Structure 1
Amino acid sequence: MTQGARYDLLVVGGGINGAGIARDAAGRGLSVLLCEQDDLASHTSSASTKLIHGGLRYLEYREFGLVRKALQERETLLRAAPHIMWPLRFVMPHMPDLRPAWLIRTGLFLYDHLARRELLPGSRGIDMHRHPAGEPLVDSIRRGFVYSDGWVDDARLVVLNAVDAAERGATVLTRTKLVSAVRAGGEWHARLESTDGRVIDMRAGATANAAGPWVGELLQGALGRGATTHSVRLVKGSHIVTRRLFTHDHAYIFQNPDKRIIFAIPYEHDYTLIGTTDIEYRGDPARVAITAGETQYLCDSINRYFKRKIAPADVCWTYSGVRPLLEEEGADNPSAVTRDYRLELDAPPGQAPLLSVFGGKITTFRKLAEEAVDELSRALESPAPAWTAGAPLPGGDIANASFERFATQFGQQHAWLPADLARRYARAYGTRAAYVVGQARALDDLGHAFAPGLYESELRYLRDTEWARTAHDVLWRRSKLGLHLVGPGTLDTVTREIDAWFAREDVTPHA
């Protein structure tokens, strides 16, 4: 981009809401610049429980509107990116001392019928002593329920929104911070600074503040605004990952005596993902980390249900994130704070508009983005119709949203690839897996192997198309290959090699 360039919209924040807004706006013909101070999905948006769900437990808090909106979005998203999102069946063991069966049946009936379902089967009761999901559980659990939701690779969802935005004309600048922005002459004059010290001055007709946990800090700092109508409450959610605790493909939702629920989800073939906690957080969102108490809490929660007991020593990996939840009066329990969102538009007559995003959850990001761009388009007097509801994300243009059929065909077309690698490419990149392979006809054509199944051709694609700049970007956000490399010295060695490769390569800013 050139110094002093003018855009219709400056989007600040490269999490799911910022990337979604940039994509929607670019698709409506607006010129867009998205800046993110770190890598895409560096914080909250890569630290979720990785579910596309309505939020069954929110029915207890009478959040019927939020649940219905989220349920409507489930199948829209599953169709948009069937390579990184797929249906998942959840098993809820019945614990009579926590919630009566009639209450669970009522909740599941509402969950099944609040929104139309085409891809996802409905709920039903099961006998735990007959169903395969009952085998790992303690024998005292005799009954349960099964219902449907969806799973998502959250970090890749963010990246694919950014890729689509860029391909529709948006400029995406990672590792670039908004330093200041002032209104002048009916537009925003903004200064950006990248981590390499490059300073960029630009102008924008409007600004969208999608900074997540930093939304308030950005308003009072770089944007120079005063008090706002809404604010966010920072709540930490931590997860642990262990070796696989069960062999079937269902997930579990467990009820705790403290009224929280914990998920246990099949993860990365060989692992189980367990989470999440809900704890008030007052520190720097960039420095969030799990505590020993949270780890023990999650282990104890699992041990109430599984025959095989786990301890902190069994934990292979952890991650934590800070959720910027919409602040509400009277919600003392972090678990009871709404997961809905509010959009606050500051558009004084004759001055450039500012839209700020408070709250939200990953399942409703597309709807949030659509509503945000509706408001911004009106404020900019540049109306254009919404379009994302039926549009696939990059790699998601898979016939009939049938991933298994696509993966089989991709494997057959590239029979020289090991079957597990062909499937990983299909899963991560969908129809764009062909771009990763390129003209290769044998494994040697993919270049240097940094680790089993990680070749130079993939690094080049991630660098050139998905803004990857470090080993951490590749191993923990664009993929979870780092989890499979955990071992004495292995992960450190691979990390050094990949970082050295990035340092050697000529990396030009991706626009």
Structure 2
Amino acid sequence: MQQHSFDLVVIGGGVNGTGIAMDAAGRGLRVLLCEMHDLASATSSSSSKLIHGGLRYLEHYEFGLVRKALAEREALLRNSPHIMWPMRFRLPHQPHLRPGWMIRTGLFLYDHLAKRELLPGSRSITFGSDSPLKPEITKGFEYSDGWVDDARLVVLMARKAQQMGAVIRPRTRCTQATRDNKTWTITLQDSLSESVTKVSASILVNAAGPWASALFAGTIAAPAPKQIRLVKGSHLVVPRLNNGDEAYILQNEDERIVFVIPYEERFSLIGTTDVDYEGDPSLARISQEETDYLLKIVNAYFRRQTSNEDVVWSYSGVRPLIDDEGEENAQKASRDYSYEVDDNQGLAPLISIFGGKITTYRKLAEVATDKVCEFFPQAGKPWTGNAVLPGGDFTSKTLLLAELKIEFPWLPTELTQRYVRTYGTECRNLLAGAVSIEDMGTLFAGNLFQKEVDYLIAQEWAWTAEDILWRRTKQGLYASEAQTLALEAYLSDSDKSSDTRF
């Protein structure tokens, strides 16, 4: 690093941490973000991939949270049209679970709690003979929400923050943070080389997600102002269950709901569960009980029956929810966010982030950065409401796809489509200099070529096969063990050994 003194150091490279780093850097602050693993390597790549208000939260009377989330949907969809897009959700009606009047009332509130311009409203629907659902399910409802590639959202925010001057340090653990009056001294250890760097900062932000409370015991050496409740959510990926672009929201006897969402063209994403969790969040894995639970619900609705053998992939993430000791049910624990400021007796401030959901990350980051900027009167004003993320500077995916087909006529259509929804206009940088498919280099898996791998190493802090196959591209869905090993060998080649992460 060329500098060792910062206005703000952010611990945590998930959606909240990168959101704060981007916002603060855009207001003119000197920012460093450190993340002990890869960007979005924990909770922020393990969501249900939805930009949504949370229809079911209305039953828990969280009207404020739903209103905030609904208000954010359209801003996010406008700013990141390559990695986010509108999606219609179909809710099969099961009168014995929730009466029709209750669902209609909830959908009316969902349509009107916040201003809506891009997304159409809800309506009643009838399922015909071409429905993927069982024939006895004939009525339902349809409403709008949005889809997001969560891991790419985090990476693109980190790139935007870097463009604004922030220093982004993945695979860098904060091992100690101490404050002396007006200054934090922060010890950083590179997870690969184990080299140690010390930096100073005026403000420290703890955005460590599931580790936010634990960070106090091991790193900051102070009592945690709040405890968080760790709740595991697990998902399954199976071959596509419906041909349309719609997602399904399925009610269950235990009052929970399960989503079935179109995923990566050929698959369906099924989730999620809500299970209290103890232990290291990075070790969370789906249990057989969770798998059986999800499959049972899906098989109760869909004509096509799905078994363990159909599961292509599964993943689990740990949500760091605000701990309400009076709430025993994990599914009813609030998904809202809060932050705590510790600047007692004029000490260098510590801001700790607790809770939150991906849909409200921008608002959380803005509120937290507003608080940071109270200590920096010269800082700029809020700006992220209209901040287009890298690659999002286009008006229509269809038009961008048509332009790329003219510029790169040799590029397979399916690959061009993936580049549009992964990189947007940035794919031109990825393809620079290529005039034929041969120029793309080695084909590692699916439609992942060497040229894309090199771009991800140089521009997006990718370091391992897992970074590339699962968080950057999702081509792990098509990769055999031998192909994964070949990619790992390429990444460890001497020509790739220079550290491009920083």
Q: TM-score range by the shorter chain?
A: over 0.9
Matched position secondary structure for 1:386: coil
* Alignment-mate amino acid for residue 417 of structure 2: R
User: Which one of the candidate residues 182, 186, 192 is aligned to 1:186?
Assistant: 182
Q: What is the one-letter code of the residue matched to 1:47?
A: S
**Aligned twin of 1:357:** 353
Runs (4+) of structure 1 exceeding 3 A deviation are 380-383
> In the TM superposition, what is the alpha-carbon distance from 1:72 to its structure 2 partner?
0.6
Q: Per-residue CA shift, 1:72-92, capped at 9, x if unaligned?
A: 100000001100000000000
1:160 to 156, 162, 165: 156
SS in 1 for 2:219: coil
2:461 aligned residue: 467
SS in structure 2 at match of 1:247 = coil
Corresponding position of 1:216: 213
Q: What whole-Å deviation, never above 9, does each CA across 1:287-319 have from its counterpart, x for those lacking one?
A: 000001000000001011112211212211100
**Which stretch shows the higher mean deviation, 200-209 or 324-333?**
324-333
Structure 2 residue matching 1:266: 3-state secondary structure: strand
* Residue 503 (structure 1) aligned with residue 502 (structure 2): no
Equivalence for 2:448: 454
Identity across the alignment (%): 52
Q: Paired residue for 2:264, among 265, 268, 274?
A: 268
Q: Is the 1:178–1:192 contact (alpha carbons within 8 Å) kept by the matching residues of 2? A: yes
Matched, 1:315 2:306: no
What are the within-5 Å matches in structure 2 for residues 321-340 of structure 1?
321-340=317-336
Alpha-carbon deviation of 1:190?
A: 0.7
Preserved CA contact (<8 Å) 1:407 1:427: no
Whether the 8 Å contact between 2:284 and 2:318 is mirrored in structure 1 is: yes
Secondary structure, counterpart of 1:49 in structure 2: coil
**Aligned residue in 1 for 2:100:** 101
The Cα of 1:460 is off from its aligned counterpart by: 1.2
C-alpha spacing 1:452/1:137, structure 2 compared with 1 (3 Å): closer
Tell me which residue corresponds to 1:280.
276
Q: How does 1:14-413 map to 2 (within 5 A)?
A: 14-129=13-128, 135-195=131-191, 196-228=193-225, 230-399=226-395, 402-413=396-407
- Which letter maps to 1:238? S
Distance in 1, Cα, partners of 2:124 & 2:432: 48
Give the alignment's TM-score, normalised by structure 1: 0.96
Mark the runs of 5 or more structure 1 residues left unpaired by the alignment: 486-490
- What's 2:471 paired with? 477
Give, in whole Å, the separation in 1 of the partners of 2:321 and 2:398: 36
Determine helix, strand or coil for the equivalent of 1:450: strand
Q: How many residues align?
A: 499
Q: Measure the CA separation in 1 of the matches of 2:46 and 2:452.
A: 24
Cα drift, residue 382 of structure 1:
4.1
SS across alignment from 1:349 = helix
CA deviations on 1:164-203 (whole Å, 9 max, x unpaired) are 0011111111111000010014110010001121111110
Contact 1:205 1:380 in 2 (8 A): no
- Give the letter for the 1:370 counterpart: E
**SS of aligned partner of 1:177:** strand
For 2:138 and 2:223, the matched residues in 1 are separated by: 56
Give the match's secondary structure for 1:303: helix
CA contact (8 A) 1:94 1:143 kept: yes
Residues in 1 aligned to 2:450 and 2:263: alpha-carbon distance in whole angstroms: 25
Deviation, 1:452, is: 4.2
- Contact 1:407/1:423 (8 A) holds in 2: yes
- Counterpart CA distance in 1 for 2:255 and 2:109 is 20
> 1:320, 1:382 → 2: CA distance?
42
Aligned-residue RMSD, C-alpha = 1.2
CA distance in 1, matches of 2:406, 2:116: 32
In structure 2, the residue matched to 1:488 is: none
Offset, 1:509 = 4.3
Q: Which amino acid aligns with 2:373?
A: S
